[in-house]
Structure 1
């Protein structure tokens, strides 16, 4: 497949239920699953970060967060990609109808960008490109900076990653991020909860 037949899709990954080892294993399983489900011929993963809850539900465990960018076939629409993300979440134990908004979850896969496309559809499933609130979330912006650099101007937002990270409220979130000691891999054993991470 030529470069002209592909485009980048950015996906944020997170979770906080079951203990850090189980969450990390699910993030690895999700990364491997995205490669397969999206027919991605290339994939890059940011470092993983521990992050404090953001939003109204503060009494919950810290999250593990990362961002990956996949080179996916141009024939896949943003909705096609979103449907695959939701199916992958469900296969890893996520029940969106049982999770409070911004509450604890086994796995969370959010479609951030697909090349420079913009979209707004009530669904179901609801689709917004770029994903809402990216510019307000250090746990998304810092991994994007690791992948794309601080000067990268985010499609549909029109501001650089560094500019958004420099806002006082976001800088305060950024100061609480802690690097997780392991990197995401793209292949894991069959059991996504007790998986042995494989290179």
Structure 2
């Protein structure tokens, strides 16, 4: 799941700030091994204020890509079957293919239950704090709690989009608002499109 950075107090000459921002992201990524983050764009509004975002959603804004999406997958000994019993239980409860759940976990956190993204998404299924609160998750880093809530949210999205998996994954990644903004189509964000392709590729692999 992604969120929106919005730095509204930086003037046009914000090159130094951008460098510091990117460096901070890099450090944070190292500290939180195996975390993920999306493409970061900048744009300058009519008042000369520099904005940073990972969701370029303002029409006619001249976005410039300043940080390409990066996925840190340091582990070579990942046990992709470690949470199968939890995934199977949640899949049965919410009537979702466990292979799809597993694919989303792979794409979101690479099976790292302690993953925290720079935008605050947490745990195996990268729940944003607001989502976790709405789903009444007490410990978002607890594998069973996180998967249970993530799959419940996934079922909600599948119901919302009448089983359309492309839109469901787009909403999981970019948010329901982004999907609605583009008339219930997949938003034209490269990160979101890549996310869908990645999940579907993992899904095919886990179904075998």
TM-score using structure 2 length = 0.32
Which of structures 1 and 2 has the bigger CA Rg?
2
Task: From the two aligned structures, give the one with the greater strand fraction.
Answer: 1
Q: TM-score, normalised by structure 1?
A: 0.33
Q: With CA pairs under 8 Å and 6+ residues apart, which has the higher RCO, 1 or 2?
A: 1
